[in-house]
Amino acid sequence: SVTYVIGQMKGIGVAFSRFLEVDYGTGLLVGMGIVFVYAVMGGMKGITYTQIAQYCVLIFAYTIPAIFISLNLTGNPIPQLGLGSTMVGSDTFLLDRLDQVVTELGFHEYTTQSRLSQLNMFVYTMSLMIGTAGLPHVIIRFFTVPKVADARSSAGWALVFITILYTTAPAVAAMARMNFMNTIEPTKGEYLTYDERPQWFRNWEKTGLLEFQDKNGDGKVQYSANKDTNEMVTVDRDIMVLANPEIARLPNWVIALVAAGGLAAALSTAAGLLLAIASAISHDLCKGVFMPDISEKSELMASRIAMAGAIGVAGYLGFNPPDFAAGTVALAFGLAASSIFPALMMGIFNKRINKEGAIAGMIAGITVTLLYVFQHKGIMFVASTSFMGDLPQNWFLGIEPNAFGAIGAVVNFVVAFLVSRVTQEPPEHVQEMVESIRMPAGAGEAQAH
């Protein structure tokens, strides 16, 4: 959860820095304060209701600009279809044109069949899939509904809206890259004059997340993959979603909607994560293990202290995140995949798995994953402490650190299974409880008609 919050803090810092027109560090500090007040003052019930409203803002803020931009570039109002359509006034497909533009500047083709390798792509996808099922702040959401049927229904609807959002994302990414390239190089071989740069360029320069350095003194913004000639020395990937409507010259109300959506997404997710962290420390650890007789007031105070600590750690690492926001989130998914998901699955579908096996598996899975991540990205994500470097030639079987959660999950399954086999079986009442989870009492009885 802490790793996931780091990604949210990066997003919050980017959003506040742009719309308060301050540098990224100041924006992040402001965001930390707002997240603390928001999460501490709201409880589980309060945050649940606000997250409903926030998601409505988020889904509209993400899809409406995508529709506008898809219409501008391809004439198709459906972004998912626009991604595979031809550009307005041309027989050239959007992705073909994008590939042409980026390769002319020395970058790799935008479209590719796999990320680095087929094995890496498969493992990365598995880490994201099973990591989603193991995210603690998602799991505790099911405690907010009164019946199992409600939990299943809410999960089904969540998948529908997640599908809408996630299938829109590739279209938004490709169109944002195309708009950005068209701004920097309006016509082939003719670069943007720095003094004539658009307002969105000036706005993002104030944050320090977009930086130009005129290396040859010609006053032109030259952008290329060659570090010696590239004059866009800083183009933070996390600004693209927020900058996209400005680059595309969409109406101001659309730009404002995207800003609201970005903040809603980061605040709602951060609040859910902080609740999960606070609950684990105050209720499960303090009350459940160390201080069984702790009062509710003291438990609440422990919860708030845990939230403050988590915000502090996440904010500190937000100044120097291990990756861009999406990459940091992928790391969090990998950690959930390697630790929580196997225990959940075996706890439901294998009555022989006991607590010793589950604990040993979780420790083994997350330890293997963290060791691999830390040796490439640095201890606690501090880059200077990395002792193997985040270089492809040093990766195990070509698997990048962000994707290693699936390997950790395999280790978790194996260790949990072996330890459970050499230790005592779970008590009979525990096995009966597992059986009742799989088949509720009365489910197989004949019904009167």
**DSSP letters spanning 315-369:** HHHHHS-SS-HHHHHHHHHHHHHHHHHHHHHHHHH-TT--HHHHHHHHHHHHHHH
Question: Is the predicted pLDDT of residue 414 greater than 90, yes or no?
Answer: yes
Residues, the chain: 449
Average pLDDT for 418-446: 72
Question: Residue 446: pLDDT above 50?
Answer: no
**387-393: average pLDDT:** 69
Instruction: State the Cα–Cα distance between residues 67 and 79, nearest whole angstrom.
Output: 6
Max mean pLDDT among 66-70, 105-109, 394-398 falls in 66-70
pLDDT tens string 56-80: 777 888 888 889 889 988 989 999 9
Per-residue model confidence (pLDDT) at position 418: 93
Q: Render the burial of 287-320: b for 16+ CB within 10 Å, e for the rest.
A: beeeeeebeeeebeebbbebbbebbebbbebbee
**CA distances in angstroms from 143 to 297, 302, 337, listed in the order given:** 22, 21, 21
* Helices 24-41 & 2-19 angle (0-180, nearest 10): 120
- Helix or strand or coil: residue 121? helix
**Contact predicate 435/443, CB 8 Å:** no
CB atoms closer than 10 angstroms to residue 84: 12
Helix (H, G, I), strand (E, B) or coil at 227: coil
Q: Quick check: 51 and 38 in contact, CB under 8 A?
A: no
pLDDT at 412: 93
C-alpha 358/C-alpha 419 separation (Å) is 8
Under the banding of pLDDT at 50, 70 and 90, the label for residue 163 is confident
Domain borders along the chain are: 322-438
Average pLDDT over residues 39-53: 65
What percent of the chain clears pLDDT 90, i.e. is strictly above it?
A: 6
Residue 221 pLDDT > 80: yes
Given a cut of 50, is residue 393 above it in pLDDT? yes
pLDDT at 199 over 70: yes
Which of 100-109, 116-125, 168-177, 439-448 has the highest average model confidence (pLDDT)?
168-177
Residue 278 pLDDT greater than 60, yes or no = yes
